[in-house]
Amino acid sequence: MRTRQSATLAVDAALRARRAAGEDVLHLAFGEAGLPVPEAVAERLRAAARLNGYGPVAGSAEAREAAAGWFGRRGLPTDAGRVVFAPGSKPLLYALIAALPGDVVLPRPSWVSYAAQSALAGKRVHRVPVPDAAGGIPDPEALAALLARERPGVLVLTVPDNPTGTVAGREVLAEVCALAERHGLAVVADEIYADLLHPDGPSRAGEAPGARGTEGTPSAAALLPERTVVTTGLSKATALGGWRVGFARVPEGPWGDAVLEELTGVASEIWSALAAPMQAAAAWVLGDPPEVRDHVGASRRLHAAVARAVHAEFTAAGALCRPPAAGFYLYPDFGPLRAELAERTGVSTGAELAAALLERHGVGVLAGAEFGDDPAALRFRAATSLLYGETEAERRLALGSAD
Ligand code: PLP
């Protein structure tokens, strides 16, 4: 079996090479905020530099306590013993997909790595289209049709979503969770963008913002408590992607006990434990100090402003694009412009459009096909770059970090 490099990292490598060759490139393909590490956070890591030793697989007691408190403040009371740390949520997701029995249901489109990870774990993938209003979850009717003929074991949900930048409404999420319960599915709830809910974003389908916990995004863990594992980390809202800190919340109960044992077993054979200094710094960050709250708040406002502005441009150009509500992605569908684009530029698929943007204009994006979407659609994901800010300080921060 051959596993090609993940599309996001492959585009990143191509852009780095062009930049190194002196070209002016625009990197809209990577899912990271690009904000500097706040000084107070860097200080915690410096102070922890001498920590050594492997430590327990799931994480130190201090880090697990801090993560449990973090979940608790978001409306999910959590015992520290149900938290598992990892070097990023990506290996956690892989470990979970590998640990949970059965084939995998993914929304279409969904984050690039779920399908590749499922293949690595020897699983079949069933892709179910997302509802019109928001991505990240399968359309309930289409899911019910699939479950009438297949018996998958795992359902992955991404709320808020990558690539559509939308947040599923609580009602439709509840429908999906009810189906999962009826058919005995395990739910993996990837909530890594939950703290990046746009302050003035469009309300999710059929509900006002602020419906759950601190951040207001609905969680499958509240709707299907006994069979949902939540994954998250410090890469997105806290903008510490290079620190590789991810963590999961495994539910209470016999099913959760078995998952915790299996997940810890897989983790013990793959990463042993998250780096000790990172655990100490993460414990501090997860304790919600004001420096981190300010940092995340600024990131949230910046990304909302950029997403709004870019959405307006895409819409004015004639593309179809769901209004972004969280995170830093937009997912425009250039279908309505297909004929015009083909005539003017010779490209007629999303993959060709992404390649042409890279080759002709030095702009890196990802084609919808990378998210398991219709390969013929003229569709791509655009991550935002930091060009706007609502206050002078935010603009300075944004401009200072744009390389
Ligand atoms: N889940 C989603 C939806 C993502 O977009 C990403 C990163 O792009 C990840 C998980 C993995 O993030 P990390 O491994 O940095 O925690």
Atom of ligand 1 nearest to the CA of 158: 3
Q: What residue's CA is closest to ligand 1, atom 8? A: 31
- In DSSP terms, 107 is beta-bridged to 128
pTM: 0.90
Cα distance between the two ends of the chain: 38
Atom of ligand 1 nearest to the CA of 245: 16
Residue 366 has pLDDT above 70, yes or no: yes
Q: Which residues of 304-339 are buried (b: 16+ CB within 10 A; e: fewer)?
A: bbbbbebbeebeeeebebbbbbbbbbbbbbbbebbe
For the residues 125-129, what does the mean pLDDT come to?
97
With vertex at residue 30, the alpha carbon angle to CA 324 and CA 212, rounded to the nearest 5 degrees, is 40
The contacts of residue 312 (CB under 8 Å, 6+ apart) are none
Best probe residue, ligand 1, of 11, 30, 111 (max atoms within 8 Å of C-beta): 111
Helices assigned H by DSSP within 150-217 = 170-182
The contacts of residue 72 (CB under 8 Å, 6+ apart) are 78
Confidence of residue 301 (pLDDT cuts 50, 70, 90): confident
Largest Cα–Cα distance in the chain? Answer: 61
Q: pLDDT of 59-72, one tens digit each?
A: 999 999 999 999 99
CATH of 7-37+291-401, one of 3.65.10.10, 3.90.1150.10, 1.25.40.10, 3.90.1200.10: 3.90.1150.10
Cβ contact 139:171 at 8 Å: no
Confidence of residue 97 (pLDDT cuts 50, 70, 90): very high
Interval between CA 161 and ligand 1 midpoint (Å): 11
Atom of ligand 1 nearest to the CA of 31: 8
Percent of the chain with pLDDT over 70: 89
Percent of the chain with pLDDT over 90: 61
Interval between CA 292 and ligand 1 midpoint (Å): 20
Q: Can you give the pLDDT at residue 231?
A: 98
Considering only residues 47 and 207, tell me which one the structure prediction assigns the higher pLDDT.
Answer: 47
CATH 3.40.640.10 maps onto the chain at 51-288
Confidence of residue 307 (pLDDT cuts 50, 70, 90): confident
Q: Cα 88 to chain center, whole Å?
A: 11
CA–CA separation, 106 and 104 (whole Å)? 6
Confidence of residue 106 (pLDDT cuts 50, 70, 90): very high
Atom of ligand 1 nearest to the CA of 93: 10
CA–CA separation, 244 and 164 (whole Å)? 24
Sort 216 into a burial class: Cβ within 10 Å, 0-12 / 13-18 / 19+: buried
Atom of ligand 1 nearest to the CA of 234: 16
CATH 3.90.1150.10 maps onto the chain at 7-37+291-401
Pocket around ligand 1: residues whose beta carbon is below 6 Å from it?
31, 88-90, 111, 158, 162, 190, 192, 233, 235, 241, 246
4-18, 322-336, 344-358, 360-374: the lowest-pLDDT one: 4-18
Topology given in CATH for the domain delimited by 51-288: Aspartate Aminotransferase; domain 2 (3.40.640)
